[in-house]
A = this chain, B = another copy of it.
Amino acid sequence: MFSLSSLYFLLTHKDKQKLNVPFLVSFITVISYLVMWQGNFVTLSKNGEELYWIRWLGYMFSCTLLMYTIAGLIKSSPSMLVNKIYLTALVMFTGVLASVSDGNFMLAFFGVSTFAYILLIWPIITNKLAYTYVNYFIILGWSLFPVIFLLSPEGFSIIAQPVSAVIYLGLDFFTKILFYVAKPKDI
């Protein structure tokens, strides 16, 4: 729902010959939520809760675009941009694998994903050009996703699936819409 409104909102922001990354991110998020709403790509956890692993596949496409924006803000070289996009895709793809796995394999894929995530964000948050603005969204936004993952039925089932879904929705709004809306004009 809110993704659809954001879509229109971002569409009106479209102006130049430049790639409209905010629109593409929201558009991919709309498609991802439609698929989750439909519920065709769902597996069941051991205790019968639904695992929406398709979420992480959607992030594989939307977050590589977010990373393209972030790499631009910190003036990454083209080869570092490619590196960041590969790492983002690997973080999310191993997230899909962790989401459909149980026990030790869940932990193994989660570990590999977290390892790639740290390789990804460390050079960003310690970058000399690092903007408080970017770090704020990465630390308070991106980094909460794996925490929710571990708490949800995808991880250790400490919170219920609908609760995690609402938190993910909030984080999506924060990292994919507010991120672009709040971007200072001068950077």
Closest to A86 in B: B24
Do most interface residues of chain A lie in helix, strand or loop, or is the interface mixed?
A: helix
Do A77 and B24 have beta carbons less than 8 Å apart?
no
Docked-complex contact A17 and B112, CB < 8 angstroms = no
Residues of B within 8 A of A18 (CB): 79
Q: Are A112 and B31 neighbours in the complex by a CB distance under 8 Å?
A: yes
- Interface residue count for A (Cβ, 8 Å)? 30
This protein's copies in its complex = 3
- Cβ of A30 < 8 Å from any Cβ of B? yes
Q: Is the CB of B79 within 8 A of A40?
A: no
Chain B residue nearest to A109 (CB atoms) is B34
Which residue of B40, B101, B105 contacts A101 across the interface (Cβ within 8 Å)? B40
**How close is A72's CB to chain B, nearest CB, in angstroms?**
11
Q: Using CB atoms, name the residue of chain B closest to A4.
A: B112
Q: Which residues of B contact A24 (CB under 8 A)?
A: 83, 86, 90
Partner of A90, one of B17, B20, B31, B40: B31
Please name all residues of chain B whose beta carbon is closer than 8 Å to the beta carbon of A38 when the two chains form the complex: 101, 105
Interface status of A100 (Cβ within 8 A of chain B): yes
A82 within 8 A of B: yes
**A27 beta carbon closer than 8 Å to chain B:** yes
Does A108 count as interface, using CB distance less than 8 angstroms?
yes
Contact A35 B79 (CB under 8 A): no
Chain A residues with CB under 8 Å of chain B are: 17-20, 24, 27-28, 30-31, 34-35, 38, 40, 77, 79-80, 82-83, 86, 90, 93-94, 97, 100-101, 105, 108-109, 112, 116
Q: Name 23 A/B residue pairs within 8 A (Cβ), A-sorted.
A: A17-B77, A17-B79, A17-B80, A18-B79, A19-B79, A19-B80, A19-B83, A20-B83, A24-B83, A24-B86, A27-B90, A27-B116, A28-B90, A31-B90, A31-B93, A31-B94, A31-B109, A34-B97, A34-B105, A34-B109, A34-B112, A35-B97, A38-B105
